């Protein structure tokens, strides 16, 4: 019996051992399966998160980055507005991030090429149109000047003077547009006094009677810079006059600095907001990148033209509201001393008549103004008067932007008769004498 019971116990013990071993193995396998399942869940969660990050980055590319680039391109800004960084920096080094960056680079390159083509086409079209209109403007001025010289009818001359002034304004506007297309400003001059250059700028704007030019320093300007500086000063003076009340004056003062000559233009306007001033300062510092296609709608030509002239010829222009004599804005033009020359010993130094706003013009003889014939008289406002040496009254209450008044026609007629009486080839005919 003991022999039978011992094998049975042994079998039970063996079975129990096997059962324990199998249970242990199954538990271990279950634990491994659980760990494997957990790892699979984590891997699945990471994969899902990666897909979500890529989806979010794709939406960021479509909703923010590409529209920002297009908006900056349309507005002419140098870079896109707002946050243009990737939404998830962790994707930058991944294949997805590199693919998205490649898309941005391709779009940027295509926009740059399209912009260059559009700018080139715009410049070619505007330059051709401007050149033809400039020629017509010069012909118009030549014809008006010839009529002013030939005829002495005071009514006709009174009509011609505003036409001549309007032609000068038209030519100035065309010159500014031409500068933006890369054209030369238009005229070549010999060395001229800086005061005459400033007067040339005054004579090309509508409200020229509101400009008061202080006595200048005894410097001459290199002939290559005469027309660009006259055009630049004309634009700044016109801007100052248009942005200030018609009853106020625009003061022009001179400052002799160590390495340059400063020409300050003071207006009594309302000034600029900080945003506008920052935009204008950026424009003036980046004149080389002024684009016709980025002038806005309606297009702004004056300050972009000033910026282009500064970049091309080496002038510098700054705007501030702290140092204006009239409480508005001050535009300071800095002319490098390399462009300045000493006054020739044989040439008389340009003179400027002291003036008050309410006083009539006192006529003085002076050196000829840029573009004018020698011997013209100079009124108190610094403008050449094509008349003989006589004091002409002004009409009180006449707005500064109005054409010259009736006595101007009489003065021009007298001047024309005097010129032609001394020239046998242009002596007046009996009909013209009786008229």
User: 296-355, pLDDT tens digit by residue?
Assistant: 777 788 889 899 999 999 999 998 888 888 778 999 999 999 999 988 876 555 554 444
Please report the pLDDT score of residue 276 as a whole number.
84
Residues 399, 382: Cα–Cα separation, whole Å = 18
What confidence score (pLDDT) does residue 334 get? 95
- Can you list the residues of the chain whose pLDDT is less than 50? 1, 3-4, 81-82, 352-404, 406, 415, 418-435
Cβ atoms of 90 and 57 within 8 Å: the answer is no
Report the pLDDT value the prediction gives residue 5, as an integer from 0 to 100: 56
> Would you state the pLDDT for residue 365?
35
Distance CA 370, CA 116 (A): 38
Residue 352's pLDDT is 47
User: What's the pLDDT at 120?
Assistant: 85
CA–CA distance, 64 with 54 (Å, rounded to integer) = 15
Q: Cα-flanking dihedrals φ and ψ of residue 424, to 5°?
A: -65, -25
Torsion angle defined by CA atoms of residues 238, 239, 242 and 246, in that order, rounded to the nearest 10 degrees: -70
Q: Full-prediction pTM beyond 0.85?
A: no
Within 10 angstroms of residue 8's Cβ, the number of other Cβ atoms is: 9
At 269 the pLDDT is: 86
């Amino acid at each position: 019996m003991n022999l039978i019971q011992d094998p049975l116990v042994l079998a039970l013990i063996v079975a129990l051992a096997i059962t324990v071993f199998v249970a242990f193995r199954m538990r271990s396998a279950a634990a491994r399966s659980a760990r494997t399942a957990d790892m699979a869940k984590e891997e699945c969660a990471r994969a899902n998160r990666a897909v979500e990050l890529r989806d979010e980055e794709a939406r960021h590319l479509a909703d923010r980055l590409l529209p920002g680039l297009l908006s900056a391109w349309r507005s002419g800004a140098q870079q896109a507005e707002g946050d243009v960084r990737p939404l998830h920096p962790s994707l930058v080094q991944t294949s997805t991030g590199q693919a998205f960056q490649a898309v941005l680079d391709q779009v940027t390159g295509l926009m740059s090429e399209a912009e260059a083509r559009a700018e080139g086409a715009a410049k070619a079209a505007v330059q051709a149109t401007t050149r033809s209109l400039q020629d017509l403007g010069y012909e118009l001025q030549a014809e008006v000047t010839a009529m002013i010289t030939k005829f002495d009818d005071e009514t006709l001359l009174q009509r011609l003077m505003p036409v001549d002034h309007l032609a000068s304004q038209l030519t100035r506007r065309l010159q500014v547009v031409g500068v933006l297309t890369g054209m030369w400003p238009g005229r070549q001059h010999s060395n001229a006094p800086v005061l005459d250059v400033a007067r040339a700028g005054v004579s090309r704007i509508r409200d020229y009677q509101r400009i008061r030019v202080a006595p200048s320093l005894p410097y001459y300007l290199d002939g290559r810079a005469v027309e660009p500086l006259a055009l630049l000063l004309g634009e700044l003076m016109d801007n100052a006059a248009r942005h200030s009340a018609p009853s106020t004056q625009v003061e022009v003062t001179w400052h002799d600095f160590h390495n340059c000559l400063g020409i300050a233009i003071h207006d009594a306007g309302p000034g600029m907001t900080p945003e506008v001033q920052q935009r204008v300062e950026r424009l003036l510092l980046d004149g080389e990148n002024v684009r016709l296609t980025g002038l806005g709608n309606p297009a702004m030509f004056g300050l972009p033209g000033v910026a282009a002239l500064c970049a091309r010829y080496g002038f510098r222009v700054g705007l501030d509201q702290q140092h204006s004599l009239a409480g508005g804005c001050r535009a300071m033009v800095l002319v490098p001393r390399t462009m300045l020359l000493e006054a020739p010993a044989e040439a008389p130094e340009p003179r400027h008549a002291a003036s008050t706003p309410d006083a009539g013009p006192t006529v003085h003889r002076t050196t000829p103004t840029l573009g004018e014939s020698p011997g013209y008289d100079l009124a108190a406002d610094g403008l050449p008067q094509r008349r003989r040496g006589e004091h002409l009254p002004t009409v009180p209450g006449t707005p500064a932007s109005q054409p010259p008044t009736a006595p101007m026609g009489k003065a021009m007629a007298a001047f024309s008769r005097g010129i032609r009486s001394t020239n046998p080839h242009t002596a007046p005919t009996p009909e013209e004498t009786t008229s």
